[in-house]
Structures are given as structure tokens and as C-alpha cells.
Structure 1
Amino acid sequence: MTSPPRTLRADAVRNRAILLEAAEKEFAERGPGASVADIARRAGVGKGTVFRHFASKDELIAAIVHMHISVLDATGRRLLTTADPGAALYEFLTAAAAQREQQDVSFLLTADDASAEVVALREQLYATIGALVDRAREAGAIRPDVTTTDVVLLMCAPNHVVSFVKDPPPDLWRRYLALIFDGLRPEGAHPLGPPPAPL
């Protein structure tokens, strides 16, 4: 028979996951101005429940950013050990675009008023991206004048472009990611993937 403390811990873990999912969707739809009340309503709980898990809205934002950063940073660090630096950078950009297709909350990462914790997470990810870019540049896989900042800014471009298309077909972002990566290469062109959708 499960003891009450274990049940409470399991409930707490489940409630935290529900809150994070609700907050992620609320921020994606409403932007950084989404309130704790909005998030609580979407999660089907009271504001008090939110604050039992997260002491402030900043702490909640940091938890969401950490979810995204931890996955991307782990992907980037793994790719730093692969043999082909150009393929590694392309795989990383693909993973980043695929994540943003599901829920784009990148503005939480780059906000001017980001908390110290979010800034630290951001710097950690940027350092990993910088290492991927350096490897690709040194291998001649990308143009010698491409910088880490260029790549960071281009990470969200595929899904941003697709957001202007009404009812885009699945994976349309891959076409624009291919265009971006061909722009990073020093020479050559590659298939663009799905055909463009009508505006």
C-alpha cells in the first residue's frame, strides 16, 4: 500500500507538469504578459497552487526555459563529439526548429528583463552553439564570416516565416531551414524539401 507521503510527492510532480504545460501554452499564445491567473485557469487550479510550486512568475518562466534549454543544450553537446561538424550544426538547427514548431517560447529566453537564472541558461546554450559554429567554420563547412550571433538569430527563422502562411502543410519549416543552411554554406545548393505553400 502506497504511503501518504509518496502519494503527495506523486501528486506534486503531476501538478507541476500540468502547470508547466499550461504556462508554456499560455505564454505561446499571449506572450510574456500572460498572467499567473491565466495560467492557473488553463491548468484548472487556483493561483495558490501555482505559487506553491513556483514562488514567482519569473521562477515559472525559468522552469519553462530550462525545459527547452536542457534538451537543446544536451543535443548540442552530443553533436560536438560527432565527426562531421557541418552535419552536426545542421542537425542542431533542425532540432531547434522542430522544438519551436511544437511551442515557440523563445521570447522568454531573449527578454530584456529576463531573470538571472534565465540569463545563465541562455549563456550556457549560446556557448554550446558557439562551439558548434566554430567547429563548422574551421572545417570549412560554413562561410568563414558566419558568427554565433548569426546562427542564434537564424534558429527561429524557419518557424517565423511559416507563421505567415495560413494552414501551412506539415514540415514546411524544413524548406526554409534548407534555404538558411544553403546560405551558410560556402558553396553548393541542396534540395529544399517540401514545395512552397501559397500565400
Structure 2
Amino acid sequence: MRADAVRNRRLLLDAAAAEFAEHGMDVSIARIAARAGIGKGTVFRHFATKEQLMAAILSDQLDALVARGEALLECADPGEAVLDFMATGVELRSFCVAFTAEMREEPQVRAASERLVAVAESLTARARGDGVVRGDVTGQDVLLLINAVVQATAPLGEAVPELWRRYLSLVFDGLRPEAAHPLPVPAPRSLAPG
């Protein structure tokens, strides 16, 4: 891809993510193009449909969380690394929850999801090995708990924007091994539907 095409694609993805976050998924392509400072035709040269654009944004968001997780694998404190990963995840997933199941089936989104599961498993394994999270907690659990915090705080998110931090702290305390009881069912083997 030529340098100007790469730049336009990045401008487009950033503008679209901002527009979707601010105005919802029904925002027009014309509005996204205007915010990016490109023509509407340029949008369609990069993405044939709005759904493809949305899937690219979702993939981008997941890859950002993967990159953060990979950086946190170098953190000296495995517990802090998991907590930081979860906090980053809550902030990103707040945006990602609006995407449809069909978009999540796009190959690029599926691939990003697989990378995300792998880094979550690595971070969680380090924390388990260090004894800072329960021995039966998996990366899948961590990812689902990120979503739980997002869902729990969504109704009050705009009125109390930092509320998620309270619930993330409660969730993380539940991951600690002190006074843990056996879990009634095992962790899911995959977050993928089917």
C-alpha cells in the first residue's frame, strides 16, 4: 500500500472510531469522511461496506489491547500486569460492545480475538504462577470479566464515568486466592461462538 493510502486508512479508522463512539453506529459515511478529511469515495476504496469498516475498527481495538498485554508481559509484578490489562480492556471494550456478532465473525476480527486470548492466557498464567490470582483462573475468565465490568457499569457510565474502576477492583479482589472457594463449573474453552 502506498504511503498516502496507509495515511488515509489510518485517518479513516481514527475518524470512524471517534464518530461511532460519539454518535453511535448509525453515523453516516459522509460524516466519517468529512472528519477524516477525505472524500467519501476514498472510504469505499478502502472498505466496500460500512460493516467492513466497523470490523476493521473492532480489529484495531482488539490489536491495541493485544499490544498492551504483550508489553505487560515484561512487567515485574504479574498481578499488576493483569489488573492493568483488565483496566485497558474495560476502557477499550466499552467501545467494542456495540459491534454485532456478524462483525465478530470477520476473519480479521477472529484473528485479533485469537491473539487477545493468547496474551490473556499468558498474563494470567504468570499471575497464577506467582500466586497472585487463584489457581483456577484462566485468561478466558479474565476476558469475560472485562466484559462483565463493562456491562455492569454501562447504564451509569456517562453519569459516573469512573464507576468501572470500583467494579474492576471488586472483580480483581475476587480473582485473588485468599479465601477462595472452588468454582462450581470450569472456565469456557473458547470465547468463539459455536
TM-score, L = length of structure 1: 0.71
Contact 1:27 1:105 survives alignment (8 Å): no
- Structure 1 residues 67 and 167: alpha-carbon distance in aligned structure 2, compared to 1, 3 A threshold: closer
> Could you tell me whether the CA contact under 8 Å between 2:30 and 2:40 is conserved in 1?
yes
Question: Aligned equivalents of 2:55 and 2:157: distance in 1?
Answer: 32
Find the counterpart in structure 1 of residue 151 from structure 2: 160
Q: CA deviation at 1:91?
A: 1.1
Give, as a single letter, the amino acid of the residue that structure 1 aligns with 2:83: Y
Aligned in 2, Cα 1:145/1:112: closer, same or farther, shift over 3 Å? farther
- Give the root-mean-square deviation of aligned CA atoms: 2.9
**Aligned residue identity for 1:66:** S
Map 1:42-121 onto structure 2 (within 5 A): 42-44=32-34, 47-101=40-94, 104-108=95-99, 111-112=101-102, 114-121=105-112
**Paired position in structure 1 for 2:162:** 171
Q: Which runs of 5+ in 2 are unaligned?
A: 180-194
Give the counterpart of 1:39 among 14, 29, 39. Answer: 29
CA change 1:167–1:62 in 2 (3 A) is: closer
Give the whole-Å Cα distance in 2 for the aligned partners of 1:58 and 1:92: 28
Q: Distance in 1 between matches of 2:139 and 2:55?
A: 23
**Could you tell me how far apart the structure 1 residues matched to 2:61 and 2:97 are?**
9
Identity %: 46
The range that moved more, 21-30 or 56-65, is: 21-30
Q: Which residue of 2 aligns with 1:191?
A: none
Give distance in 2, aligned partners of 1:100 and 1:30. Answer: 15
Kindly state the Cα deviation for residue 115 of structure 1 after the two structures are TM-superposed: 1.1
Q: Following TM superposition, by how much is the alpha carbon of 1:13 offset from its aligned partner in structure 2, in angstroms?
A: 5.5
Instruction: Say if 1:162 and 1:168, in contact at 8 Å, map to a contact too.
Output: no
Q: Could you list the runs of 5+ residues in structure 1 that have no partner in the other structure?
A: 1-5, 189-199
Among 136, 148, 163, the alignment partner of 1:145 is 136
Question: Residues 141 and 116 of structure 1: is their aligned pair in 2 closer, same or farther, counting only changes over 3 Å?
Answer: same
Bigger-Rg structure (1/2): 1
What is the CA–CA distance in structure 1 between the aligned matches of 2:53 and 2:158, rounded to whole Å?
31
* Number of aligned positions between the proteins: 173
